[in-house]
Copies of this chain bind each other. A is one copy, B any other.
Amino acid sequence: MLSKEQRSYIAGFLDGDGSIYAQLKPNLTYKFGFQVVTYAVLFQSKKNQVNFERLCSMINLGYMRLRKDGVLEYIIGKNKELKKFLEIVRPFVILKKQQVLLMDQILTKKEDIGRKKDFKFLMKLIDRFRDLNYSKKRKKRILTP
């Protein structure tokens, strides 16, 4: 059980140098032709590995990965764990507030996709997410029947 201070620290860390990520990946093995990829990542230089591992074991919801360029990534990918992570930071996050709220909607919808119109709604949520994160030109997506 994390204290309020631990939770707001994590929220600050996420706002400072973390990512919340929602993306549609074309994949014909999936029901509607797309895989919904959702995760949160925290980054840190390898030289702070010891303390960064301390922080991440406090969160205890993901796994650590070392990139070739010497940057550590703490990745929270599983739906259940990502939902817990959003629970932790939601009251305290400032810069990524909208992403957190939207991601929560996305995860809830993800568990509940029956028909094509559900998936179209999910696609709209993910598009809104991309608007929050990116101001670049966006790809148009076609739903594979």
Contacts and interface: CB of A to CB of B under 8 A. Distances in A.
Name, among A8, A12, A52, A92, the residue most crowded by chain B CB atoms within 10 Å (CB to CB): A12
Interface residues of A, number: 29
A29 interface: no
A12 B51 CA distance: 13
A86 to B, nearest CB: 16
A122 interface: no
A59 to B, nearest CB: 11
Contact of A8 (B12, B17, B54, B97): B12
A15 B48 CA distance: 10
Interface in A35-68: 42-44, 47-48, 51-52, 54-55
Interface of A: 4-18, 42-44, 47-48, 51-52, 54-55, 92, 94-95, 97, 135
